[in-house]
């Protein structure tokens, strides 16, 4: 199973980068679910207060495996979209589209349409749209807006890095290391795993959107009328919340080195060398060397998963962090 995008010669010239605060907001809401792995965002999650928020309607429309309504987070139309502009576009969605996309999303979660929240979401689409727009604004203000300058800095840095890579070596260079789940071969971009879909771009070009809160997935949007879009985890995610580190984590960096401490901290979930290299903006060989030291010290262990080795912290590694 894979999603493929076939480029024409014109499409090679129509790739663009963009940043979406709306997408970051919806992705942050997803991380509030106890079923979600939070990865590098554990320290951010410890700082947010959601006691006065009821974001269950948005959460229900974001199944872990299934369809999320496109009108909730359409691909950004400008390189640096403003939240208010994106919210305005959401509020202007055609009511027929709202009804159809909500029904499609709820159908991917057994029993969702019959739940109290599901029944509310299937009510008058004008009311539903107004409710969802208000909830998205509340989520932005509570979860993302307070840290947006910090997140935006990471996303801007990723766009700058990827743009230089594109200028130096074209799409071959860009897609070679954009993310481990993406492959570029003979004018076809493939995302492994997930849905089985194909689209010929035919001059539409491709939007590339780095994300901080969509940290563990590559999302490919192929449904018209949106421009084909690839949402990928931003480079350097492992460093995003370092200013929130405690004194003992700083001390750990002095003990075993800042880079090794950062790698050890980020292994809340098992990860491969290539994933860690992308997350920490390091060369794969450098990560491999540091993991070897951590493994020899008994702090991490590797386990084969299909074609790759994924590293996890050992009980000793957990004890060191505590």
pLDDT at 283 > cutoff 90: no
Confidence (pLDDT) at 244: 46
Q: Which residue from 279, 268, 284 is spatially nearest to 317, judged by alpha carbons?
A: 268
Q: Cis link prior to 249 (omega < 30° from 0)?
A: no
Distance CA 119, CA 18 (A): 35
Q: Which domains does the chain have, with CATH numbers?
A: 2-17+150-234 (no CATH), 21-147 (no CATH), 245-321 (1.10.10.10)
- Range with lowest mean pLDDT among 179-188, 216-225, 237-246: 237-246
Mean pLDDT (whole number) for 97-116: 93
More confident residue, 177 or 214: 214
Walk across the sheet containing 197-200 and list its strands: 182-185, 188-192, 2-6, 197-200
Distance CA 174, CA 273 (A): 19
| Confidence bin at 248 (pLDDT 50/70/90) | low
Q: Which residue from 308, 289, 311, 287 is spatially nearest to 299, judged by alpha carbons?
A: 311
> CB under 8 Å to 186, separation ≥6 — which residues?
none
Distance CA 92, CA 96 (A): 12
Confidence (pLDDT) at 243: 55
CB 154 within 8 A of CB 212: yes
Distance CA 248, CA 268 (A): 17
pLDDT at 245 > cutoff 60: no
Share of the chain above pLDDT 70, in %: 97
> CB under 8 Å to 86, separation ≥6 — which residues?
20, 21, 22, 73, 74, 76
Per-residue pLDDT tens over the stretch 56-92: 999 999 988 888 998 998 788 788 889 999 999 999 9
Radius of gyration from C-alpha coordinates of the chain: 20
Confidence (pLDDT) at 246: 54
Q: Find the distance separating the first CA and the last CA of the chain, reported in whole Å.
A: 40
Mean pLDDT (whole number) for 231-240: 89
């Amino acid at each position: 199973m894979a999603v493929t995008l076939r480029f024409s010669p014109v499409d090679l010239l129509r790739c663009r980068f963009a940043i979406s605060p709306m997408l970051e907001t919806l992705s942050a809401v997803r991380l509030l679910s106890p079923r979600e792995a939070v990865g590098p965002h554990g320290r951010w999650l410890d700082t947010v207060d959601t006691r006065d928020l009821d974001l269950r309607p948005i959460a229900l429309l974001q199944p872990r495996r299934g369809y999320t309504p496109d009108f909730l987070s359409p691909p950004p139309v400008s390189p640096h979209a403003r939240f208010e502009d994106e919210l305005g576009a959401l509020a202007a969605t055609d009511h027929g589209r709202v009804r159809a996309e909500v029904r499609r999303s709820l159908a991917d979660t057994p029993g969702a349409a019959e739940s109290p929240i599901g029944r509310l979401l299937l009510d008058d689409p004008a009311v539903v749209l107004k409710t969802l727009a208000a909830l998205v604004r509340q989520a932005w203000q509570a979860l993302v807006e307070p840290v947006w300058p910090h997140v935006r800095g990471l996303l801007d840095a990723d766009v700058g890095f990827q743009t230089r890579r594109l200028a130096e070596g074209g799409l071959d260079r860009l897609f070679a290391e954009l993310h481990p789940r993406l492959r570029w071969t003979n004018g076809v971009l493939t995302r492994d795993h997930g849905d089985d879909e194909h689209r010929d771009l035919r001059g539409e070009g491709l939007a590339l959107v780095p994300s901080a809160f969509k940290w563990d997935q590559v999302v490919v949007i192929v449904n018209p009328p949106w421009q084909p879009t690839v949402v990928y985890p931003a480079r350097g995610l492992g460093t995003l919340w370092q200013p929130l580190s405690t004194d003992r984590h700083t001390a750990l960096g002095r003990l075993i080195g800042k880079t090794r401490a950062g790698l050890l901290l980020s292994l809340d979930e098992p990860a491969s060398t290539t994933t860690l290299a992308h997350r920490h903006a390091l060369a794969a060989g450098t990560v491999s060397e540091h993991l070897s030291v951590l493994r020899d010290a008994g702090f991490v262990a590797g386990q084969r998963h299909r074609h790759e080795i994924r590293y996890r912290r050992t009980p000793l590694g957990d004890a060191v962090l505590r």
